[in-house]
Amino acid sequence: MWRQLLDRFGLPVAFAIVGVMGVWLILMVLLPQWQMIDYSLHPSLLPAERGGEKDVWTLTNYLTFFRNDIHLAIFFKTIWSSVLVTALTLMVSYPLAYYLAKVATPGQAALCLLLLIIPFWINEILRTFAWYIIFAFRGPLNELLFALGLIDRPIRFLNGDTGVLVGMVYAYILFMVFPLYNAIESLDGNQIRAARDLGAGWIRTHRRIVVPHAKPGIATGCIMTFMLAAGSYAVPSLLGSPGSRWFTQIIYNWFFEGGDWNQGAAYAFLLLALCILFVTLIMRIFKVGLGDIAK
Protein backbone atom coordinates (compact mmCIF):
# COMPACT_ATOMS: atom_id res chain seq x y z
CA MET A 1 0.00 0.00 0.00
CA TRP A 2 2.81 2.41 0.92
CA ARG A 3 4.61 1.69 -2.37
CA GLN A 4 1.43 2.31 -4.37
CA LEU A 5 0.83 5.64 -2.63
CA LEU A 6 4.45 6.63 -3.13
CA ASP A 7 4.43 5.81 -6.85
CA ARG A 8 1.12 7.54 -7.46
CA PHE A 9 1.32 10.71 -5.36
CA GLY A 10 4.98 11.20 -4.45
CA LEU A 11 6.69 11.28 -1.07
CA PRO A 12 5.09 14.40 0.55
CA VAL A 13 1.51 13.52 -0.35
CA ALA A 14 2.01 9.86 0.57
CA PHE A 15 3.33 10.89 4.00
CA ALA A 16 0.35 13.22 4.46
CA ILE A 17 -2.17 10.51 3.56
CA VAL A 18 -0.56 7.94 5.86
CA GLY A 19 -0.31 10.53 8.64
CA VAL A 20 -3.98 11.47 8.41
CA MET A 21 -4.96 7.79 8.38
CA GLY A 22 -2.74 7.13 11.39
CA VAL A 23 -4.18 10.03 13.39
CA TRP A 24 -7.73 8.98 12.52
CA LEU A 25 -7.00 5.37 13.49
CA ILE A 26 -5.47 6.34 16.83
CA LEU A 27 -8.01 9.00 17.86
CA MET A 28 -11.21 7.42 16.52
CA VAL A 29 -10.53 3.70 16.89
CA LEU A 30 -7.67 2.70 19.17
CA LEU A 31 -8.05 5.23 21.99
CA PRO A 32 -11.86 4.81 22.38
CA GLN A 33 -11.49 1.02 22.39
CA TRP A 34 -8.68 1.17 24.94
CA GLN A 35 -10.78 3.46 27.14
CA MET A 36 -13.68 1.02 26.91
CA ILE A 37 -11.42 -1.88 27.92
CA ASP A 38 -10.01 0.18 30.80
CA TYR A 39 -13.54 1.02 31.98
CA SER A 40 -14.56 -2.64 31.79
CA LEU A 41 -11.67 -3.73 34.02
CA HIS A 42 -12.47 -1.27 36.83
CA PRO A 43 -15.25 -1.70 39.39
CA SER A 44 -18.06 0.80 39.63
CA LEU A 45 -17.03 3.12 42.47
CA LEU A 46 -18.21 6.33 44.03
CA PRO A 47 -16.27 9.44 42.92
CA ALA A 48 -14.53 9.61 46.30
CA GLU A 49 -13.30 6.01 45.96
CA ARG A 50 -11.73 6.42 42.53
CA GLY A 51 -7.97 6.28 42.61
CA GLY A 52 -8.04 4.54 45.98
CA GLU A 53 -7.16 1.03 47.03
CA LYS A 54 -10.41 -0.36 45.58
CA ASP A 55 -9.75 1.17 42.16
CA VAL A 56 -7.83 -1.75 40.62
CA TRP A 57 -8.24 -3.90 37.54
CA THR A 58 -10.66 -6.77 38.07
CA LEU A 59 -12.69 -9.24 36.02
CA THR A 60 -15.78 -8.74 38.18
CA ASN A 61 -17.74 -7.01 35.41
CA TYR A 62 -17.14 -9.92 33.03
CA LEU A 63 -17.98 -12.49 35.71
CA THR A 64 -21.27 -10.66 36.29
CA PHE A 65 -22.21 -11.32 32.68
CA PHE A 66 -21.36 -15.03 32.78
CA ARG A 67 -23.29 -15.46 36.04
CA ASN A 68 -26.46 -13.85 34.65
CA ASP A 69 -28.43 -16.53 32.79
CA ILE A 70 -30.91 -14.02 31.37
CA HIS A 71 -28.20 -11.82 29.87
CA LEU A 72 -26.39 -14.86 28.52
CA ALA A 73 -29.57 -16.03 26.80
CA ILE A 74 -30.18 -12.57 25.31
CA PHE A 75 -26.56 -12.42 24.13
CA PHE A 76 -26.70 -15.73 22.26
CA LYS A 77 -30.18 -14.95 20.96
CA THR A 78 -28.85 -11.66 19.57
CA ILE A 79 -25.95 -13.43 17.86
CA TRP A 80 -28.21 -16.10 16.37
CA SER A 81 -30.74 -13.51 15.20
CA SER A 82 -27.96 -11.42 13.64
CA VAL A 83 -26.75 -14.48 11.73
CA LEU A 84 -30.34 -15.07 10.59
CA VAL A 85 -30.66 -11.44 9.48
CA THR A 86 -27.41 -11.80 7.53
CA ALA A 87 -28.61 -14.99 5.82
CA LEU A 88 -32.00 -13.49 4.93
CA THR A 89 -30.39 -10.32 3.60
CA LEU A 90 -28.03 -12.40 1.44
CA MET A 91 -30.95 -14.43 0.07
CA VAL A 92 -32.82 -11.26 -0.87
CA SER A 93 -29.81 -9.34 -2.16
CA TYR A 94 -28.08 -11.96 -4.32
CA PRO A 95 -30.80 -12.26 -7.02
CA LEU A 96 -31.21 -8.48 -7.00
CA ALA A 97 -27.47 -7.85 -7.34
CA TYR A 98 -27.18 -10.41 -10.16
CA TYR A 99 -30.10 -8.83 -11.99
CA LEU A 100 -28.57 -5.36 -11.69
CA ALA A 101 -25.11 -6.54 -12.77
CA LYS A 102 -25.85 -8.99 -15.58
CA VAL A 103 -29.48 -8.85 -16.68
CA ALA A 104 -30.80 -5.29 -16.44
CA THR A 105 -30.04 -2.68 -19.06
CA PRO A 106 -28.10 0.39 -17.88
CA GLY A 107 -31.35 2.36 -17.67
CA GLN A 108 -33.13 -0.38 -15.71
CA ALA A 109 -30.17 -0.79 -13.35
CA ALA A 110 -30.01 2.96 -12.73
CA LEU A 111 -33.75 3.08 -11.98
CA CYS A 112 -33.57 0.11 -9.59
CA LEU A 113 -30.57 1.56 -7.77
CA LEU A 114 -32.38 4.89 -7.47
CA LEU A 115 -35.44 3.18 -6.01
CA LEU A 116 -33.20 1.36 -3.53
CA ILE A 117 -31.32 4.48 -2.47
CA ILE A 118 -34.14 7.04 -2.22
CA PRO A 119 -35.71 5.54 0.97
CA PHE A 120 -32.32 5.78 2.65
CA TRP A 121 -32.38 9.55 2.29
CA ILE A 122 -34.75 9.38 5.27
CA ASN A 123 -33.45 8.95 8.80
CA GLU A 124 -33.26 5.33 10.04
CA ILE A 125 -35.57 6.11 12.96
CA LEU A 126 -38.28 7.39 10.61
CA ARG A 127 -37.90 4.38 8.32
CA THR A 128 -38.22 2.07 11.32
CA PHE A 129 -41.31 3.95 12.49
CA ALA A 130 -42.79 3.38 9.02
CA TRP A 131 -42.43 -0.37 9.52
CA TYR A 132 -43.94 0.02 12.99
CA ILE A 133 -47.03 1.57 11.40
CA ILE A 134 -47.18 -1.13 8.70
CA PHE A 135 -46.93 -3.96 11.25
CA ALA A 136 -49.30 -2.38 13.78
CA PHE A 137 -52.21 -4.45 15.09
CA ARG A 138 -54.62 -2.28 13.08
CA GLY A 139 -52.03 -1.27 10.50
CA PRO A 140 -52.13 -1.38 6.69
CA LEU A 141 -50.72 -4.92 6.43
CA ASN A 142 -53.38 -6.43 8.67
CA GLU A 143 -56.10 -4.43 6.92
CA LEU A 144 -54.90 -5.66 3.51
CA LEU A 145 -54.76 -9.30 4.60
CA PHE A 146 -58.22 -8.95 6.15
CA ALA A 147 -59.64 -7.35 2.97
CA LEU A 148 -58.22 -10.19 0.86
CA GLY A 149 -59.85 -12.73 3.15
CA LEU A 150 -56.54 -14.31 4.15
CA ILE A 151 -57.10 -13.77 7.87
CA ASP A 152 -60.16 -13.48 10.08
CA ARG A 153 -58.45 -11.59 12.90
CA PRO A 154 -55.47 -9.20 13.06
CA ILE A 155 -52.01 -10.71 13.51
CA ARG A 156 -49.62 -9.30 16.10
CA PHE A 157 -46.54 -8.98 13.89
CA LEU A 158 -44.73 -6.97 16.57
CA ASN A 159 -45.20 -9.68 19.21
CA GLY A 160 -41.88 -11.44 18.69
CA ASP A 161 -38.90 -11.16 16.36
CA THR A 162 -40.75 -10.99 13.02
CA GLY A 163 -40.85 -7.22 12.88
CA VAL A 164 -37.22 -6.95 13.99
CA LEU A 165 -35.98 -9.37 11.32
CA VAL A 166 -37.92 -7.69 8.51
CA GLY A 167 -36.92 -4.23 9.68
CA MET A 168 -33.23 -5.16 9.82
CA VAL A 169 -33.23 -6.84 6.41
CA TYR A 170 -34.73 -3.67 4.97
CA ALA A 171 -32.41 -1.37 6.95
CA TYR A 172 -29.18 -3.10 5.90
CA ILE A 173 -29.98 -4.42 2.42
CA LEU A 174 -27.81 -1.81 0.71
CA PHE A 175 -24.77 -2.98 2.67
CA MET A 176 -25.25 -6.40 1.07
CA VAL A 177 -26.41 -5.39 -2.41
CA PHE A 178 -23.57 -3.02 -3.29
CA PRO A 179 -20.64 -5.38 -2.44
CA LEU A 180 -22.40 -8.19 -4.32
CA TYR A 181 -23.15 -5.91 -7.27
CA ASN A 182 -19.54 -4.72 -7.49
CA ALA A 183 -18.22 -8.29 -7.34
CA ILE A 184 -20.66 -9.77 -9.87
CA GLU A 185 -20.32 -6.85 -12.29
CA SER A 186 -16.61 -7.59 -12.71
CA LEU A 187 -17.37 -11.14 -13.85
CA ASP A 188 -16.86 -11.68 -17.59
CA GLY A 189 -20.26 -12.49 -19.08
CA ASN A 190 -18.60 -14.87 -21.56
CA GLN A 191 -17.95 -17.30 -18.70
CA ILE A 192 -21.67 -17.47 -17.92
CA ARG A 193 -22.57 -17.91 -21.59
CA ALA A 194 -19.90 -20.62 -21.99
CA ALA A 195 -21.27 -22.52 -19.00
CA ARG A 196 -24.78 -22.30 -20.42
CA ASP A 197 -23.60 -23.44 -23.87
CA LEU A 198 -21.90 -26.44 -22.28
CA GLY A 199 -25.19 -27.53 -20.73
CA ALA A 200 -24.88 -26.20 -17.18
CA GLY A 201 -28.15 -25.20 -15.58
CA TRP A 202 -28.65 -21.90 -13.77
CA ILE A 203 -28.05 -23.43 -10.34
CA ARG A 204 -24.80 -25.07 -11.41
CA THR A 205 -23.69 -21.94 -13.27
CA HIS A 206 -24.13 -19.84 -10.18
CA ARG A 207 -22.57 -22.46 -7.92
CA ARG A 208 -19.49 -23.01 -10.09
CA ILE A 209 -19.02 -19.63 -11.81
CA VAL A 210 -20.82 -16.68 -10.19
CA VAL A 211 -20.61 -17.48 -6.48
CA PRO A 212 -16.85 -18.31 -6.45
CA HIS A 213 -16.15 -15.05 -8.29
CA ALA A 214 -18.39 -13.08 -5.93
CA LYS A 215 -16.88 -14.50 -2.71
CA PRO A 216 -15.19 -11.23 -1.67
CA GLY A 217 -18.47 -9.36 -2.16
CA ILE A 218 -20.42 -11.99 -0.25
CA ALA A 219 -17.91 -11.90 2.61
CA THR A 220 -17.94 -8.10 2.74
CA GLY A 221 -21.74 -7.93 2.71
CA CYS A 222 -22.09 -10.61 5.39
CA ILE A 223 -19.52 -8.93 7.64
CA MET A 224 -21.11 -5.49 7.40
CA THR A 225 -24.68 -6.78 7.74
CA PHE A 226 -23.87 -8.95 10.75
CA MET A 227 -22.00 -6.23 12.60
CA LEU A 228 -24.72 -3.66 11.93
CA ALA A 229 -27.42 -6.11 13.03
CA ALA A 230 -25.58 -7.20 16.18
CA GLY A 231 -24.95 -3.57 17.13
CA SER A 232 -28.38 -2.25 16.23
CA TYR A 233 -30.40 -0.47 18.88
CA ALA A 234 -33.14 1.51 17.12
CA VAL A 235 -34.73 -1.35 15.15
CA PRO A 236 -35.15 -3.86 18.03
CA SER A 237 -36.26 -1.06 20.37
CA LEU A 238 -39.05 0.06 18.03
CA LEU A 239 -40.09 -3.20 16.35
CA GLY A 240 -39.36 -5.72 19.09
CA SER A 241 -41.62 -6.88 21.87
CA PRO A 242 -40.59 -7.00 25.57
CA GLY A 243 -39.80 -10.68 25.08
CA SER A 244 -37.46 -10.08 22.13
CA ARG A 245 -34.82 -7.85 23.69
CA TRP A 246 -31.51 -7.27 21.90
CA PHE A 247 -28.16 -7.32 23.68
CA THR A 248 -27.55 -3.69 22.71
CA GLN A 249 -30.59 -2.76 24.79
CA ILE A 250 -28.92 -4.38 27.82
CA ILE A 251 -25.77 -2.36 27.14
CA TYR A 252 -27.83 0.81 26.81
CA ASN A 253 -29.54 0.10 30.12
CA TRP A 254 -26.22 -0.34 31.91
CA PHE A 255 -24.86 2.93 30.54
CA PHE A 256 -27.82 5.30 30.63
CA GLU A 257 -30.40 3.82 33.01
CA GLY A 258 -28.23 1.97 35.52
CA GLY A 259 -25.41 4.51 35.31
CA ASP A 260 -22.83 1.71 35.52
CA TRP A 261 -20.45 2.55 32.71
CA ASN A 262 -17.93 -0.06 33.84
CA GLN A 263 -20.41 -2.91 33.53
CA GLY A 264 -21.74 -1.52 30.26
CA ALA A 265 -18.21 -1.32 28.86
CA ALA A 266 -17.61 -4.98 29.74
CA TYR A 267 -20.79 -6.00 27.93
CA ALA A 268 -19.89 -3.82 24.94
CA PHE A 269 -16.39 -5.31 24.73
CA LEU A 270 -17.81 -8.85 24.79
CA LEU A 271 -20.07 -7.95 21.87
CA LEU A 272 -17.11 -6.42 20.01
CA ALA A 273 -14.98 -9.52 20.61
CA LEU A 274 -17.73 -11.75 19.26
CA CYS A 275 -18.11 -9.56 16.16
CA ILE A 276 -14.35 -9.79 15.51
CA LEU A 277 -14.58 -13.57 15.88
CA PHE A 278 -17.44 -13.64 13.37
CA VAL A 279 -15.44 -11.56 10.87
CA THR A 280 -12.52 -13.97 11.19
CA LEU A 281 -14.83 -16.96 10.74
CA ILE A 282 -16.44 -15.48 7.61
CA MET A 283 -13.01 -14.79 6.10
CA ARG A 284 -12.00 -18.40 6.80
CA ILE A 285 -15.24 -19.82 5.35
CA PHE A 286 -14.98 -17.81 2.12
CA LYS A 287 -11.17 -18.11 2.05
CA VAL A 288 -10.64 -14.39 1.49
CA GLY A 289 -8.21 -11.94 3.04
CA LEU A 290 -8.45 -8.30 3.98
CA GLY A 291 -7.01 -7.36 0.60
CA ASP A 292 -9.80 -9.22 -1.22
CA ILE A 293 -12.49 -7.56 0.89
CA ALA A 294 -11.00 -4.10 0.37
CA LYS A 295 -11.11 -4.37 -3.43
Give the residue among 25, 88, 84, 68 at the shortest CA–CA distance from 270: 68
CB of 168 within 8 A of CB of 232? Answer: yes
Classify residue 228 by its DSSP letter. Answer: H
Q: Is residue 13 part of a domain?
A: no
Instruction: Report the distance separating Cα 91 and Cα 168, nearest Å.
Output: 14
CB of 120 within 8 A of CB of 130? Answer: no
Q: Is residue 162 part of a domain?
A: yes
Supply the angle between the helices 106-117 and 174-185 in degrees, to the nearest 10.
Answer: 160
CB of 214 within 8 A of CB of 295? Answer: no
What is residue 71's predicted lDDT score, i.e. its pLDDT? 92
CB of 221 within 8 A of CB of 172? Answer: no
Q: Is residue 287 part of a domain?
A: yes
Give the residue among 33, 52, 32 at the shortest CA–CA distance from 43: 52
Q: Which residue has the higher pLDDT, 8 or 176?
A: 176
Q: Is residue 28 part of a domain?
A: no
Instruction: Report the distance separating Cα 44 and Cα 266, nearest Å.
Output: 11
Q: Is residue 37 part of a domain?
A: no
Q: What's the pLDDT tens digit per position in 95-127?
A: 999 999 988 888 888 898 888 888 888 888 888
Please give the mean pLDDT across all residues of the chain: 85
What is residue 43's predicted lDDT score, i.e. its pLDDT? 84
Q: What's the pLDDT tens digit per position in 245-277?
A: 889 999 999 988 888 888 999 999 999 998 888
User: Predicted confidence band at 86 (pLDDT cuts at 50, 70, 90)?
Assistant: very high
CA torsion through residues 208, 181, 186, 108, sign: positive
Tell me the residue range of the domain where 191 lies: 70-294
CB of 271 within 8 A of CB of 230? Answer: yes
What is residue 8's predicted lDDT score, i.e. its pLDDT? 67
What is residue 225's predicted lDDT score, i.e. its pLDDT? 93
Please give the share of the chain, as a percent, with pLDDT higher than 70: 94
The CATH number of whichever domain residue 174 belongs to comes to 1.10.3720.10
Q: Is residue 150 part of a domain?
A: yes
Q: Is residue 108 part of a domain?
A: yes
Considering the entire predicted model, what is its pTM? 0.85
User: Predicted confidence band at 4 (pLDDT cuts at 50, 70, 90)?
Assistant: low
Phi-psi region of 199 (alpha: psi -120 to 50; beta: other; left: phi over 0): left
Rounded mean pLDDT, 23-27: 87
Report the number of distinct structural domains present in the chain.
1
Classify residue 121 by its DSSP letter. Answer: G
Across 10-24, 54-68, 168-182, 247-261, least confident range: 10-24
Q: Is residue 97 part of a domain?
A: yes
User: Predicted confidence band at 3 (pLDDT cuts at 50, 70, 90)?
Assistant: low
Please give the share of the chain, as a percent, with pLDDT higher than 90: 27
What is residue 2's predicted lDDT score, i.e. its pLDDT? 55
